[in-house]
Amino acid sequence: MWQPTERQGPVVLLVEDDEDLREVTTRMLELRGFSVLAAEDPVNAMMKCRVHDGPIDILLTDLGLPGVSGGELSRSAAAVRPSMKVVYVSGLPEATAVKKGLIEAGSPFVTKPYTADVLAGMLRTVLAQGSASAGR
């Protein structure tokens, strides 16, 4: 008989301040085999980084968060979980985010609005890459 395991798939720490988008994205990712820890702001995300018992494989963060950018959050989170990879999402075009200094050129990036398949595909691509490209 099939027994669910505690860890069903890669663990994603999703940081999105829009409640509806956070809920929809969580469902989209769970349906594609990811385990999701959802946080509504950088403070909550950092708390989850510190207290989550087990690995967090990837940080999926909006660039436009209250108080601190997703780029700043990723640097703080990397200090706590250095092996965690990062994917950024934003309504801004990628070139604009790079020009404004929010992310480095070549950082894993998905433009809003995104489809579930595009988002899951980016997460799987980043997870498949070696740890040398951990998004820093």
* CATH number of the domain encompassing residue 36: 3.40.50.2300
Number of domains in the chain: 1
Q: Which residues pair with 37 in a beta bridge?
A: 13
pLDDT value, residue 121:
97
Q: What is the mean pLDDT of residues 22-36?
A: 97
Edge-first strand listing for the sheet containing 109-111 = 35-39, 11-15, 58-62, 85-90, 109-111
**Percent residues over pLDDT 90 in the chain:** 85
pLDDT digits (tens, 9 = 90+) for 67-114: 888 999 999 999 999 999 999 999 999 999 999 999 999 999 999 999
On the question of pLDDT at 4 being above 60, the answer is no
Would you call 70 exposed, middle or buried from its count of C-beta atoms within 10 A (0-12, 13-18, 19+)?
buried
CA 92 to chain centre: 16
Closest CA to 52 of 13, 91, 19: 13
In a domain, 50, yes or no: yes
In a domain, 94, yes or no: yes
pLDDT value, residue 67:
86
In a domain, 1, yes or no: no
Full domain range(s) for residue 22: 11-128
Six-digit token string for 65: 């968060």
Six-digit token string for 38: 């959802």
> CA-CA distance, 35 to 117, in Å (whole number)?
16
Mean pLDDT of the chain: 90
In a domain, 136, yes or no: no
